[in-house]
Structure 1
Amino acid sequence: MLSFLEYGSGPPVILLHGLLGSKLNMAGAARVLSDHHHALAIDLRNHGDSFHHNSMNYRIMAADIGGFMDDNDLDTASLVGHSMGGKCAMQYALSFPDRVDKLVVVDIGPGEYRDPSWTKYLKAMLSIDISTLTSRQEADERLKKEITSKIYRQFLLSNLVSDENGSYCWRPNLTAIMAARHDIGAQVTGPVSYIDTLFVKGSESDYIQEKDQAAIDQLFPQAHLISVAGCGHLVHIEARERFNQLLHDFL
C-alpha cells in the first residue's frame, strides 16, 4: 500500500514527489488544489511511509500508481510529478493513457539521466552512522562536507526521523534506492501520448535542456513548456506561489 494525504473534493489529482522526497513535499500544492479538486499526495515505494521493496523501476512504479487508483476507486485522474515522480507520471500516462486526464511534469524530461548528484546525495546519507547521531544539527554538519547547498541539505534531512527514545533513522530505503539508481535514471518508453501535458522547468536547472525538447515533442506532442524564473530543480519549493498558480491555471 502507498501512504498518502488527501484534501478536498472534485476531479482527482495525484501528486508524486521526486527522488528522496515524500508526500509532504507536495502537500502544499495539494492543499491549494483542494479548493476545486480531490488532491492526493502519495509516498512512492521506498519513500516516506510507503512500503520498502528491492525492485524499483518506472514500469513497476507505474503499476503502483494504477494499483493506488484501483484501491481508491479512481477511474481516471490528473497526474503531477516532480523529477522521479514526473517520470513515474510520464510512464503511467504512456502505458495507461485512458486513465489520465491531464499531466504535469516538473523539471525532468523523458530521456535518460546519469546525474552524479543522485549518487553523491545517497552516498552522503549512507555514510552517516545513524546509531551515533545525537541531533539533526549534527547530521547537517556531516552532510555539509559533501553537500554545500543548504536547501538541498534541508530537503534530504526531511527524511531523518527520531523515535520516542531519541534514536534516528532514515525513512527511505536508501540501500534499495542506491541499487536502483540506474533504473531511476532510465528513459521512459511507450507509444505517443496525446494527453494535455504541461512541462515546468526551473530557469536555473539543467534537468530540461534544449536537447530534451525533441523527446518531449515525440512522446507528448500536445505538451507545452513553461520556465519559472529564478529557481532550480526544486521548483515546487523554491517558487511555491508561482508553481501553485501554474497548477491551478492548468488543471
Structure 2
Amino acid sequence: MKLFFREVGEPTAPPIIILHGIFGSSDNWLTVSKAIAARGYRVFALDQRNHGQSPRADDQSYLSMAADLHEFIVDQGLDKPVVVGHSMGGKTVMQFAMQYSGQFSKLVVVDIAPKFYPIHHADLIRGLKAIDLLNLSNRNEADTVLSQYEPIPAVRQFLLKNLYRNEQGQFDWRINLPVIERELHGVGDELTNPRIVTEPTLFIRGSESPYILDEDIPTIKRIFPNVQIETIYGAGHWVQAEKPAEFVEVLITFVS
C-alpha cells in the first residue's frame, strides 16, 4: 500500500520515519517533525492505512501495517532509517523490526509495550459514530455530541482533527471508522511471530501513563536486549504532545 506522508528536512540528511497511533495522522506529528529536522535529520511522518490521507483497506493487522512501512522504505530508497512509532504505531514498528531485520538502523517505541492490551477505545468509537455527519453544521456541534462520551477536551480535539469537508462540501472522516471499529480488538493484540531484535532500541514512556509498567520491562529487555528505556516525567500517553521539547531531546540523544 502506498502511504501518504509528510516530509521535512534536507534530502541528504539521515532519515527518520514516524508512525502515529490509532485515530491519529501525520498531521499530529508536524511540529515535532520540524523540531527533529532542525537538528539535522530528514523526517518522514506517515499516515498509516485507514488513517489520514492514506488508502483504506479491510485489514488493520500489524503484519499488514509493517508490510506498508517496508514498502514505503523500499519505494523511497531509504538506507536503514530510524523508525519511530507511538502507541499503535509503536506496535507497528516493533512488528516491522521482527519481520524485516536489517532494514533499519535504530528503533524507537513510544509508550507501548509488546503485550496484549484489552479494548479500551469502544466509548470513543461510539462517540464518533453518534455524530450525524449528514446534518452536521460545524465542529462545535460535533464536540458537543462527543463530550457525552469523552470528558477531556484535548482528547476530543485530537479525535475531531479527523473531521473534514469532502468534495461535496459535507463533513466526513479521514479515518475508516467501520474497519477500525471492527478491528479494534486487534489493535491491542500481541505481536505475530515474535523474534529477538538486536538493533539498538529506545522505549520512551510517560511517567503518568499506564501503558508501560515496571512489570513490563523484563519482557521488553528479553525481546529487545539492546534496549534503553527512558521515562519523561509529567507526561501521559501522548508524550510527544505533552512534553515535546523533552521528547525531542531524548530522541535526538539516542539517535545521534
TM-score (norm 1): 0.96
Q: Does 1:19 align with 2:50?
A: no
Q: Does 1:8 align with 2:6?
A: no
Q: Does 1:64 align with 2:65?
A: no
1:177 to 180, 184, 197: 180
Aligned match of 2:160: 157
Q: Distance in 2 between matches of 1:119 and 1:154?
A: 17
Q: Does 1:139 align with 2:142?
A: yes
Alignment of 1:30-179 (within 5 A): 30-35=33-38, 36-116=40-120, 118-163=121-166, 166-179=169-182
1:193-212 Cα offsets, whole Å, 9 max, x none, are 01111111111110111221
1:148-205 Cα offsets, whole Å, 9 max, x none, are 1111001101111124664211110011111111211111242100111111111111
Alignment of 1:228-239 (within 5 A): 228-239=232-243
Unaligned runs of 5+ in 2: none
Q: How many residues align?
A: 250
1:188-238 Cα offsets, whole Å, 9 max, x none, are 242100111111111111011122112211111111211111121111111
1:113-159 Cα offsets, whole Å, 9 max, x none, are 1142x121112111211111111011011110010111100110111
Residues 218 and 123 of structure 1: CA distance in aligned 2, closer, same or farther (over 3 Å)? same
Tell me the C-alpha RMSD between the 2 structures: 1.3
Aligned match of 1:202: 206
Q: Distance in 2 between matches of 1:163 and 1:191?
A: 43
2:247 to 227, 240, 243: 243
SS at match of 1:97: coil
Q: What displacement does 1:29 show?
A: 2.0
User: Structure 1 runs of 4+ off > 6 angstroms?
Assistant: none
Q: Distance in 1 between matches of 2:215 and 2:250?
A: 24
SS at match of 1:201: strand
Give the % identical residues: 38
TM-score (norm 2): 0.94
Q: Which moved more, 1:98-107 or 1:182-191?
A: 182-191
Unaligned runs of 5+ in 1: none
Q: Distance in 2 between matches of 1:162 and 1:248?
A: 37
Contact 2:20/2:46 (CA < 8 Å) preserved in 1? Answer: yes
Contact 2:119/2:185 (CA < 8 Å) preserved in 1? Answer: no
Q: Distance in 1 between matches of 2:245 and 2:9?
A: 19
Q: Which moved more, 1:89-98 or 1:26-35?
A: 26-35
